[in-house]
Amino acid sequence: MRAETVSSAIVLGAGMAGVGVALHLRQAGWDVVLVDRQPPGRATSYGNAGIIQSEAVEPYAMPRGLDDMWGVVTGRTNGIRIDWSALPAHVPALLRYWWHSAPVRHRQIARTWSGIIGQAAAAHQHFLNDTNAAGLVRKEGFRVFFRSAAAMDAAFTDAERIHRTYGVPYAALDSKALAAAEPGLANTGAGAVHWQGAWTVRDPGALVEAYGDLLLRSGGSVAIGSAETLKALPGKGWRVETANGPVEAAHVVVALGPWSPELLRRFGYDFPMVRKRGHHRHYDGTGLDLPLMDEAFGYVLAPMAKGLRITTGAELSHADAPPSEVQIGRAEDAARTLLNLGKGVEPEPWLGVRPCMPDMLPVIGEAPRHKRLWLHFGHGHQGFTLGPATGQMLATMMRGEAPSVDPAPFRPERWTGG
């Protein structure tokens, strides 16, 4: 049967990563169809803390200190929670993650990572200039709150190191300064680090949706369909089924976040991935101006369009496990010591999955054994931040041009060979 639509590229996945590469391709003159089971911005790109993190110049390493590791094992820390019955399935990828988290290796990775983080805000601004979504974004940063003087002193030292190394702006706030900045807080602890260059978004899903609307207005297409229907057409490209009929294209981009490895196994690729689950819930309380990360309890409290959103740290659990109340409950109890949190808006927490590669770098490039099969996933905690920047990088590579950042550390071959 003849395909109803023929395009230059099919992009599978309508989160920030997929929308980012689709928009850059369309702006370069390509015909693009963005395909997902849901409209743009409904999955993990919706459920984050809504921070475009210009300060996140060093990716999250696995804890290697004995005290930190013991805190995870005993459940003393709320930033990481392990369902021990699910641990065996995570061990192979976690061992690689632990190896790459060694200080020497992590410093090398951070030098690469900081290069793409440094382009994140400009890449978002490039899209924002052509949308009506500027009102969703504030460019006043966010704060990390510390309950103890020891933790505060260590954070100030590290913030100064990051400032000297990467030029990231920050302000050190003692308890009184934090009280003046956030008068709604009942407890200002030892103070906070204010990361001044970050941008915050009051509705992350709406921002991705606005970028999706921009794709449509620029002449691209969005279709409801399943990536599982993807088929290679020898000598012709790729085909996927959508609600409006089949779509064929010369190129296809897999930007499915945590679901990317599963699809790619059908084509003979085995990508290791640490799948970190995260939860959020909204509350109808008030009293917070800028997002606040509570370092001691591993959550972010952010004012959103639907209320105050608590976003939890990482949970390692079974892939099909239902949403958990453990981390969100501990975070809620901690947040109530800080301000008027109010009542929960949703009956149960929202659940999403963060796709983390063991070396903390996303996969960006062409699949080694399939022409014009392009990969764009594995952004970890920073897909919302990085989608437009790495989307530009991949779109440049797809056009046969050299990106501004060396693509070698991101190439799929580092995991697949070939």
Domain positions in the chain: 1-61+101-135+198-270+357-418, 66-88+136-197+273-356
Instruction: Give the pLDDT of residue 231.
Output: 97
> How many angstroms separate the CA atoms of 20 and 39, rounded?
14
Residue 215: its H or E element: helix 204-217
Give the 3-state secondary structure percentages of the chain, helix then strand then coil, rounded to 5.
35, 25, 40
Tens-digit pLDDT profile for residues 278-299: 999 999 999 999 999 999 999 9
The position carrying tokens 């931040």 is 385
Query: Are 163 and 169 a contacting pair, CB within 8 Å?
Result: yes
Nearest to 326 by CA among 309, 337, 313: 313
Query: Are 309 and 294 a contacting pair, CB within 8 Å?
Result: no
Has domain 66-88+136-197+273-356 been given CATH number 3.30.9.10? yes
Alpha carbon distance, N-terminus to C-terminus of the chain: 34
Instruction: Give the pLDDT of residue 65.
Output: 76
- Side-by-side strand order, sheet with 199-201: 51-52, 199-201, 137-138
Has domain 1-61+101-135+198-270+357-418 been given CATH number 2.40.50.140? no
The CB density around residue 47, as the number of other CB atoms within 10 Å, is 23
Instruction: Give the pLDDT of residue 76.
Output: 73
pTM higher than 0.85, yes or no? yes
What are the DSSP E strand ranges found in 86-136?
none
Strands 299-304 and 307-311: antiparallel
Residue 327: its H or E element: helix 326-335
The position carrying tokens 């019955």 is 85
User: Which residues of the chain have a pLDDT value below 70?
Assistant: 1-7, 73-74, 418
